[in-house]
């Protein structure tokens, strides 16, 4: 039987496979309004969901826009509309948001609705260009004006505060995991790699294509969506390398159940990030890595981000440089010691088990 620790929650969520946050608050909130807000490429895949004591009462699609100005304008309009529609002036509620933009005009919103903000800062963007400098200034502005700030990693926490804070109002909360019970066949002779996430050049897929070009016994399934220009660029590389039969890349969004089914034919998950402190990945807790773990896949990833030490600690994968020889060596090591890495995954998943991890991490919300 679900226990309802929280009274009223307005949660920003995503259809992407990150953290089981919405599922957790569905199970433990008397009333939950979840605004599923996707990137602009998926402007038609936004939803508003109303849950009462764990039961879905309303689920409506919200159309935004690919135009950057209209996208954020519509997003803000719906944000204000929803907090007025689903909460009365007499109800106290918490807004949990990973994005600062809905907090614009927060003092005016508070004249008409009674809420506290939990700003879940998931990223830190190094100031390498003007747009990122602006994003961080906006983020810092609202950090100083909300009561509760949680950071996705200790690295972000320390970057923002000069030290790692762990108080009732400022603390680190990483992504939780809900392991899936997936049965898969281990095929040493046809090793299939899974890639999940938004498709960007910084994700290192070009290194993976170079590897596949000279390793015809391996294949990859790329589950994610990127810009049309980047998709065409990668399709041209795939064709030139003659690796069409080794690459599954439909460039579309997949539902959770579809991903689980596709993962059954894969044996390892890969994340080839840019490294170095000028990469935003350096500071964050990559959702794709936790997704691989939940699917029961050993992990090969660049030695970067706050989750890397846990990969090493629990022996659930390998940390490598973005190099075709290191990719090959890592795959061979995991092939030859597969059970060892599966045991490491069990320990990793237990540590980040979302039920117990979030119950401890969000105990301050029980007082709102």
Give per-residue pLDDT as tens, 32-89: 999 999 888 778 889 999 999 999 999 999 999 989 999 999 999 999 999 999 999 9
pLDDT digits (tens, 9 = 90+) for 252-300: 888 888 999 999 999 999 999 887 777 778 888 988 999 999 999 999 9
Phi, psi for 93 (deg, rounded to 5): -145, 165
Q: Which domains are delineated in the chain?
A: 6-176+353-367 (3.40.50.2000), 191-351 (3.40.50.2000)
More confident residue, 318 or 283: 318
CA distances from 243 to 226, 247, 261, 269, 345 (A): 20, 6, 23, 19, 31
Computed over every residue of the chain, the mean pLDDT equals 92
Q: What is the per-residue pLDDT for 339?
A: 93
Quickly state the pLDDT bin for 169 (edges 50, 70, 90): very high
pLDDT at 171 over 80: yes
Residue 1: its pLDDT value, please?
53
pLDDT recorded at residue 17? 61
Rounded to whole angstroms, the Cα distance separating 211 from 62 reads 41
In the chain, what percentage of residues exceed pLDDT 90?
A: 72
Whether residue 4 contacts residue 365, with contact meaning beta carbons closer than 8 Å, is answered with no
Residues paired with residue 149 on neighbouring β-strands, in sequence order: 119, 170
CA gap 39, 33 in Å, rounded: 19
* pLDDT tens string 185-206: 777 777 899 999 889 888 889 9
Average pLDDT over residues 163-186: 91
Cβ-in-10-Å burial (0-12, 13-18, 19+) of 2 comes to exposed
Q: What is the pLDDT of residue 97?
A: 95
CA distances from 190 to 81, 205, 331 (A): 52, 19, 12
The mean pLDDT value for 100-110 works out to 92
Write down the pLDDT at residue 43: 81
- Global pTM? 0.87
For 323-360, the pLDDT digits (tens) are 899 999 999 999 999 999 999 999 999 999 999 999 99
Say what the pLDDT of residue 273 is. 87
Report residue 225's pLDDT band, with 50, 70 and 90 as the boundaries.
confident
Q: Residue 136: its pLDDT value, please?
A: 85
Q: Say if CB 2 and CB 27 are below 8 A apart.
A: yes
């Amino acid at each position: 039987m679900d226990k309802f620790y929280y009274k009223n929650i307005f949660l920003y969520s995503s259809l992407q496979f990150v953290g089981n946050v919405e599922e957790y608050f569905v199970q433990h909130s008397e009333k939950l309004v979840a605004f599923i807000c996707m990137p602009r490429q998926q402007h038609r895949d936004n939803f508003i969901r109303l849950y009462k004591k764990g039961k879905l009462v309303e689920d409506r699609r919200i159309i935004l826009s690919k135009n950057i100005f209209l996208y954020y304008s519509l997003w803000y309009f719906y944000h204000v509309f929803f907090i007025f529609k689903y909460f009365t002036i007499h109800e106290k509620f918490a807004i949990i948001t990973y994005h600062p933009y809905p907090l614009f005009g927060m003092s005016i919103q508070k004249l008409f609705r009674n809420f506290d903000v939990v700003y879940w800062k998931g990223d830190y963007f190094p100031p390498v260009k003007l747009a990122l400098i602006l994003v961080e200034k906006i983020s810092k502005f609202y950090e100083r004006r909300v009561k509760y700030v949680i950071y996705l990693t200790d690295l972000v926490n320390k970057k923002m505060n000069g030290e790692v804070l762990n108080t009732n109002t400022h603390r680190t909360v990483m992504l939780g995991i809900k392991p899936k019970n997936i049965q898969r066949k281990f095929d040493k002779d046809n090793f299939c790699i899974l890639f999940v996430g938004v498709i960007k050049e910084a994700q290192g897929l070009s290194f993976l294509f170079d590897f596949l070009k000279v390793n015809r016994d391996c294949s990859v399934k790329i589950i994610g969506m990127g810009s049309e220009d980047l998709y065409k660029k990668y399709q041209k590389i795939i064709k030139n390398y003659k690796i069409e039969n080794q690459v599954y890349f439909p460039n579309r969004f997949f539902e959770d159940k579809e991903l689980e089914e596709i993962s059954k034919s894969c044996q390892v998950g890969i994340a080839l990030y840019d490294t170095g402190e000028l990469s935003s990945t350096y500071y964050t807790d990559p959702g794709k890595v936790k997704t691989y773990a939940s699917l029961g896949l050993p992990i090969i990833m660049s030695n970067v981000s706050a989750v890397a030490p846990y990969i090493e600690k629990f022996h659930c994968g390998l940390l490598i440089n973005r190099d075709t020889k290191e990719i090959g060596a890592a795959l061979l090591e995991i092939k030859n010691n597969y059970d060892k890495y599966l045991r490491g995954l069990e320990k990793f998943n237990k540590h980040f088990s979302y039920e117990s991890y979030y119950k401890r991490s969000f105990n301050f919300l029980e007082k709102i």
